[in-house]
Every structure is written in structure tokens, then in C-alpha cells.
Structure 1
Amino acid sequence: MKTISHKELIVHILVWICISIFPLFSAYIDLGKIPSEMYLRLSLRPILFYANYLVFVPYLLLNRKLLLYIFVSIAFLILYNYVSEELITNTITREFRDFPKPPNMPAGPFGIRHAIPVVFSLSIFLLGGIFSLVVDFYKRDRESKELENEQKEIKLQFLRNQLNPHFLFNSLNSIYALVRSKSDNAPEAVITLSELMRYMLYEAGDEQVSLEKEINYIKNYIALQRLRLKNTEAVKLNIKGETRHLKVYPLLLISFIENAFKYGTDYKGNTQIDIKIIVDNNKLHLYVENIIGLYKRDDKNSGVGLENIKNQLNHLYNNNHQLTINESKTHFKVELTINLKENEMYNN
């Protein structure tokens, strides 16, 4: 059976008090006294409302038992009106009536004396059904949104689980190359990698992080790549704008930069990458351009790279981002704009 919360109970009580005060006040003005049968009628009306609100609609109508709902509703209304009008009102309150029946009032089962209470009872009964349907609609809508958010979180976590091993695999390859060549930069590379992994494990969760921390993470990654590669004079990083008071979802930008380092080295060993991060008016602009060098992109087997990050952007930033990717025979260029302020309002 449908339950009513504590707050909802208070609202129901206040509404019924307001509904009851008006007819009682009107009767007192017209008659100078409130008939005792009016108290009885008002006290019985919630039975109509809550029978439909708590029982008939949830258990019959919402379970697609339409014919049974109609039959039970009609039977209940007939029984209610018979009991309230014939047994209770005419028997119990007869001795307390001070006002004789007007001589011209139609009598019999189809008179106005019976028709008006029937109309009122039907209205209250239908009102309970409408309220039940409205409450059920909002409940289902809320549950649908919660389920949709849970599904998005599960998918997003799956995408991130793909991304992290992919990043770790490439970073270990970089350090392996330094160790194998007996480079003096190998210890520094291990320390840098440990900083990267600490950020990924302990700070880059499901919630947004400081944009400043995310940029420091990118700086460490680029520093690691500079240690691995031979000729990195053409690797440029330019950061402009205020980043301290803005937040961003973690590990979104690194895939574009990682992709640039993977494919941005020519046959002579020269790496040419231009990275710009500009923050202006709460908008983050990322520009990444690299040459297409030794390694050719394999869209079929590189799977967890750019397609992964596109899916994450669609889940996290919806319509608050714009991504443009241009590829020529010699260069690969990425332009990403994220409206950080609007996205924060959207998620709240």
C-alpha cells in the first residue's frame, strides 16, 4: 500500500483543514448555526479520497486492471453514499436536525437531496485518483532520472577504467626506454610517474577537481615525455588565464595530449607538439596540434583513446562543450572548449 511521508502528512492535514473551513463558515453565515450532519459529512469525505489515493489507483489502475478498477470504484461509491446518506445521516443525526426539509425539495432516491451528495462524493473520489496519478508520475520520473544517472556513472567508470591502464601502459613503456638506454633521467621519470599515479588514484575520482591540479598533472605528464624523448625543443606548452577557482572533471584533457606525443615524432626523432590551455570568462580552451610522424593512427585498434574521451565528454558536459578534430596529411589538430560555469550549474 502506498505510504505517506511525514511532510506529506502535514500537507494533507493542512489542505483538509482549509477545505473544511470554507463550507462550515458558509453554513454558519447562511444559517446562523452549523448543522451537526455537516460535521459528519466532512469527517467522512477523506474516506473517499484516500480509498482511491492509497488503494484503488495504486493496486488496480496503475497495474492496468482498468475494468476491475471501474467496477470496484462504482461499487464503492454506491456503498459509501448508501451508508452515509441512508444509515448514518438519516438515522444518527435525525434527532439533532433543527431545520425542517423545505416543502418544495424533491424527495426520493433521485432528488436533489441525494444528487448533491453523490456529486460531491464523486468529485472527492476522483480528486484522490488524480492526486495518486500525479504523485506516481513524479515518483516514476524521479526514479527514471536516478536510474539514468546510475547507468551514466557505471558507463563512465567503465570508460575511465579503460583509460587508466592505457595511460599506465604507455608511461611504463616510456620509463622502460629510459632504463634500457641507461639514462640519468630514469630516476626522475619514476618519481614523476609516481606523482601522476598518486593523482589518478587518490584525487581524480568521480567528482570535479581543481583545474589548477589538473593542469599540474598535465605538466608532470609532459615533463615525463620530455625525459623519454630525445629532441623536444619543438614541444610547446602555453597556459593563460586564472585557474584557481574553477573545477573540471579529471583526466579529460590528457588523452588529447597523450595522443599528440604518441604520433607527433617524425622519422628523425624530432617531436613537434603545440599545446595551449586558455581560460577566459569561465571557459576552458584546449588547443593541441602535432605533426603526423612515424606512427600512423589505427582507429580500429586504438579503441580506448579518442573515442573514449568523446564518450566521457558527452556524458559529463553534454551540450556545454564543443570538440573539433581536424586531420591532414601532415598535422593533427584538436580544439576543445568547455563551459565550466554552466556545467557546474547544470550538475547542481
Structure 2
Amino acid sequence: MTSPLSLRLSGTWRMLLQSIFWIAFVAWPLLIRPEPPKPPASVHVPPDPKYMVALNLLSVLFFYLNTRVLIPKLLEKKGVGVYLAAVAGVVLLTIALSLGIRTQAVPADWTNVRFVMGTIFPVMFIYALSTTYKVLNDFHHRRQQEKERENERLKSELSFLRSQISPHFLFNILNSIVSLARFKPESVEPATIQLAELLRYMLYESDEDRVPIRQEVAYLKSYVDLQILRLGKKVHVGFDTGGADGNQYIEPMLLIPFVENAFKHGIGLIQQPMIVIHLSVQEDTLFFSVRNKVSSHVDEPKDHRSGIGLKNVQRRLNMLYPEHHLEVQEADGWFDVQLTLVLK
């Protein structure tokens, strides 16, 4: 998202470039001032540069009068009729002033079409240029505002999705510790330490837009270790994260719902339950897969909270990684999740 400071800086640069352009435009006749004619005198005597500077300065004033006063104050607030009437008056006044300045610079010939059009055309050109500039500038400004609003909306929605994932995840972990306290009290202390590590990540690091991939991997490993501590030898867990120690960054807590879902639905009423997790990064592409056995004989009861994590992570993927590829399928007694995304 574009910061207010960057917007101020871009506005400052735009004003600076405009100032440089108009200063050069006004002073141009002085910079290219011709040499005085040598005898015998030329038939055509170039106009005095100071009059050309005055004409250019008048053009600058008309430009900003149209962009800063006529369009925003009259067209946008009073309507087209009032604006066109004001423009007609200002154009006529500007043409009259231009004719007055030009008659001081060169001999006036009101029957010469080139003399008359040479006065009227620059005024109309400046009017067309200023109107076009104002329309394009306002369009660009509206697009920036719409983009800022969209970024704020996405940021708020992402925060909401994270807030939904965190309590749901914490609820399952606390259930795991309760089970340990009943059946393996000696494991409560190491489990609590693991939970502290998970909470530290959730509270202090998941607020970042992106985190190093190694931190996300460490977070997944802490969760898996906690589940292994709770389940013991009841389930076989394979966790392979080879090649994921680079400097790539990822949205925090993006992968945990897939792992959590595997432990939630892949260990109950299943013969020899097995969960296999694989994560690798090749250049800037992440490959992540989670597989768990499912029962083909017993339909597992589901409550209204089932699948909250997966729904949220799908929504986050659509917003943050629109070109991701997610494949979820169940076949041959396995529930398989395959995720591919390009890390930014």
C-alpha cells in the first residue's frame, strides 16, 4: 500500500517538474534572444523578447486559472452552463490582452489572418491543454484514492481472517494439552513450552505482511512436535522441509490450516493413521503438500466450525496470491492437498 509520505513526495516532485517546465516556457524567448540585425537592416525585425515573455506568462496564468479555479469551483460545483459562460469571458479577455501585447511587439495588421490567428490559436491551445491536464490529473487522483480504499479494505479483511484463524487454532491446541494432562501429565510441561512458542509467533510475528519462510517452517514444526507429543506412536507423521531455508518471504500463518486439518480429521477411527507433510522452495516457487489417511467406513460427525480454517486460507490465497494453484482431492483412502504459489 502506498504510504502518505510517498504520496506527499510524488506530489512535491510533480509540482517541482511543473515549476521547472513553466519557468523554462516563460523564459524561453530570453534564452534564444536573436542577435540584433546587421546592416543592411533586415526587412523582418524579430519581436522584443520581453513581450514574448509577457505572452508566455499570460498563458501560464490562464492555464492555472482554468485548472485551479474555473473547473473545480464552477464546473464541478455550479454546472456546465456557468462554467462555459465564465470560460468564454476569460478566453475573450485573454485574447484581448494577448492582442494588446502583440501589437506592442509587432506592427498590428488586423486584416492579416496570420496575425489574428497567431493570437487566438495559442489561447485556445492553452485552454485545451489545461482542460486535458485537469481531466487526466483528476482521473489519476481518483484511481489512487480507489486503490488506497481497496488496499485498506483488503488489509481489514485479512486482519479479520487472521483473527478467525487464531482462536480456532488455539482452541484445538488447548484441547490437546487437556488430553495430555489426563493421560500423559509428564508431557504437560514440554507441551506448554511448545504452546508458548506458538503463541509468541501468533502474537508478535504474524502481524507482519510477510515473514521469512524459515519462521513459518519453524512454526509448523512446533505445531507438529506438539501433536506428536500428544499422540505418541498412535500416528506416523512425516515432515519434510528440505530446501526451505532461503530468504523468501510468505504471508504468516498461511499454511497451518492445512496441517491442522490433517491432524483433526486424519487420526480418528483410522487404521494406522498417517500424515505426510512436504514443503520445498525452488527459486521463488513454493510447493506444499499435506496428505492424511481417511476412513472409508465411518462418516465423521462435523460441527458448524468444521472447515473454518480451510475456508479462510482459501480466501487469503485468492487475495494475496491470485495466481496460486490449490488442488484438494480425496482418493484411495487419502485426503491430499497440493499447493503451489510464487513467493513475492
Same fold per TM (> 0.5)?
A: yes
Q: Does 1:339 align with 2:337?
A: no
Q: Residue 30 of structure 2 contacts residue 50 of structure 2 at CA under 8 Å; is this kept in 1?
A: no
Which residue is equivalent to 1:106? 111
Q: 1:33 to 1:143 in 2, by over 3 A?
A: same
**Amino acid paired to 1:228:** R
Counterpart-to-counterpart distance in 1, 2:78 and 2:277:
60
RMSD: 2.8
Please state how far the C-alpha of 1:327 moved relative to its aligned partner.
1.9
SS at match of 1:31: coil
TM-superposed deviation, 1:79: 2.5
Flag the 1:144–1:189 CA change in 2: closer, same or farther, 3 A: same
Count of matched residue positions in the alignment of Structure 1 and Structure 2: 326
Mark the CA change 1:271 to 1:193 in structure 2 (over 3 Å): closer, same or farther.
farther
Structure-1 residue corresponding to 2:200? 198
Is 1:262–1:295's contact at 8 Å kept on the other side of the alignment?
A: no
Q: Does 1:255 align with 2:257?
A: yes
Task: Give the distance between the partners of 1:224 and 1:310, measured in 2 at CA.
Answer: 25
Q: 1:317 aligns with which of 290, 312, 321?
A: 321
Sequence identity of aligned pairs in percent?
32
Q: What residue in structure 2 maps to residue 69 of structure 1?
A: 83
- Out of 277, 285, 290, the residue aligned to residue 283 of structure 1 is 285
State yes or no: 1:133 paired with 2:152: no
CA shift for structure 1 position 56: 1.8
Task: Give the deviation of 1:255 after TM superposition.
Answer: 0.4
The 1-side partners of 2:262 and 2:209 are apart by: 26
| Alpha-carbon distance in 2 for matches of 1:135, 1:239 | 50
Q: Secondary structure at the match of 1:231?
A: helix
Return the TM-score normalized by structure 2.
Answer: 0.84
Using the alignment, how far apart are the partners of 1:285 and 1:297 within structure 2?
31
Q: Distance in 1 between matches of 2:34 and 2:303?
A: 82
Q: 1:27-84 CA distances to partner (integer Å, 9 max, x unpaired)?
A: 7366356255333222211121001111122234455823332222112111232344
Cα distance, 1:8–1:286 mapped onto 2, change above 3 Å:
closer
Matched, 1:37 2:40: no
Asked if residue 8 in structure 1 is aligned to residue 14 in structure 2, the reply is yes
Q: State the distance in 1 between where 2:293 and 2:50 align.
A: 92
Aligned counterparts of 1:9 and 1:266: Cα–Cα separation in 2: 67
Q: For the Cα contact (< 8 Å) 1:289–1:334, is it kept in 2?
A: yes
Please show how residues 201-240 of structure 1 align to structure 2 within 5 Å: 201-240=203-242
Task: Give the Cα–Cα distance (whole angstroms) in 1 for the partners of residues 65 and 215 of structure 2.
Answer: 58
AA at the equivalent of 1:78: L
Deviation at 1:196, TM superposition (A): 0.6
Instruction: Tell me if structure 1 keeps the 8 A contact 2:325–2:340.
Output: yes
